[in-house]
Amino acid sequence: MTRYAMPDGMVRAAVTTGMHEGYMPGFGNDFETEALPGALPQGQNSPQKCNYGLYAEQLSGTAFTAPRGQNERTWCYRIRPSVHHTGRFAPIEVPYWKTAPNIHDGIVSLGQYRWDPIPVPDADLTWITGMRTITTAGDVNIQVGMASHVYLVTRSMQDEYFFSADSELLVVPQEGRLRFCTELGVIDLEPKEIAILPRGLVYRVEVLEGPARGFVCENYGQKFDLPGRGPIGANCLANPRDFKCPVAAFEDRETRSRVVIKWCGQFHETWIGHSPLDVVAWHGNYCPYKYDLRTYSPVGAILFDHPDPSIFTVLTAPSGQEGTANIDFVLFRERWMVAEHSFRPPWYHKNIM
């Protein structure tokens, strides 16, 4: 055993090597073990203060919402959180180990990153020219994955229309107000609201109050849906009645108009002699929506432990694996929670999804 002092002056004892000969039998069991007596909390996953000054960290081997019989996770109580490192990751060559698809040179996405708001330039930017990609995942050609963008819009589209054959778009405004004039009606959008624009829907974007800046989640896979509430029951989270679909509106204008399509990651344009927003009436269940995030009703633990953040899911886009999402849109809105024997928010976490 060795003893050493922590920065807060607390003295801890630890095994020098941490090695121990011994095994626990079984496959797929729910094991528990500790190398120091009392290191493993009882009755609580994430105490506010762990014994020995350890950090609680959850390692998820499946999505939070995987079925109970398939759900895998392990709570670790460690000397330092695994997110801690002293410098950036640097690429190295391992020439004979290949991975599909091929990784392109210059990818530097490994590590913990954040970015400041992108400045809005003085140049005229429309919904199309003002889009800036932050990251991508999956493959648009096989309709799996997503892309995350920041939009910067300073000018309305004039006799110009857009639709994506690749994806549906989840729009999250940060600044300014936009109007989406779609084939099925008009949506006005401002901060603290979101909009869902289905794949294949033609629309024009106008600036009501600018400049406008915000985020776009481009969903290549299955469409967004409301998450199952499970034991939460019939109420709370996002309620269907709070999603607003526009009423029919149309334009009867014979004017030269530009139509831009996004197809397999490429952009194409064509010209037509009228406004494509000429739908006078419609019925069906494939349509755009807006949703006021202030109507989201969160639920959470008010006793002694922290639930998984999946309870804050507003919308989810499923993957081919039950309980595992292609995309989750999660909202941590303002809330008051009173707890007994409180936990440390937020806890550290490594999430395989």
Number of C-alpha atoms within 13 angstroms, CB side, residue 147?
Answer: 19
pLDDT, residue 324, reads 87
306 is known as an active-site residue:
yes
> Taking residues 336-341, what's their average pLDDT?
71
Residue whose tokens read 């290549």: 220
Please provide residue 142's backbone torsions phi and psi, each rounded to the nearest 5 degrees. Answer: -110, 15
Domain ranges of the chain: 131-295
Q: Is the omega angle on the peptide bond into residue 298 within 30 degrees of 0, that is, cis? A: no
> Taking residues 1-27, what's their average pLDDT?
53
- pLDDT digits 0-9 by tens, 138-175: 888 888 999 999 999 999 999 999 999 999 999 999 99
Q: How confident is the model at residue 12 (pLDDT cuts 50, 70, 90)?
A: very low
Cβ(253)–Cβ(276) under 8 Å? no
Whole-number CA gyration radius for the chain: 25
Cβ(53)–Cβ(12) under 8 Å? yes
User: In terms of Cα–Cα distance, which of 75, 108, 90, 138 is closest to 350?
Assistant: 75
> Taking residues 36-40, what's their average pLDDT?
93
pLDDT, residue 2, reads 38
pLDDT, residue 121, reads 87
Number of C-alpha atoms within 13 angstroms, CB side, residue 268?
Answer: 8
Count, residues in the chain: 353
Q: How confident is the model at residue 100 (pLDDT cuts 50, 70, 90)?
A: low
Query: d(Cα 46, Cα 345) in Å, to the nearest integer?
Result: 9
Please provide residue 295's backbone torsions phi and psi, each rounded to the nearest 5 degrees. Answer: -90, 0
Query: d(Cα 130, Cα 121) in Å, to the nearest integer?
Result: 10
Q: Which CATH superfamily hosts domain 131-295? A: Jelly Rolls (2.60.120.10)
pLDDT at 6 over 90: no
> Taking residues 263-284, what's their average pLDDT?
90
Tell me if residue 295 falls in helix, strand or coil.
helix
* Beta-strand relationship, 193-197 and 168-182: antiparallel
- What is the residue type of 337? M
Of the chain, the percentage scoring pLDDT greater than 70 comes to 85
Q: How confident is the model at residue 300 (pLDDT cuts 50, 70, 90)?
A: confident
Catalytic-labelled residue, pool 20, 306, 341, 349: 306
Q: How confident is the model at residue 19 (pLDDT cuts 50, 70, 90)?
A: low
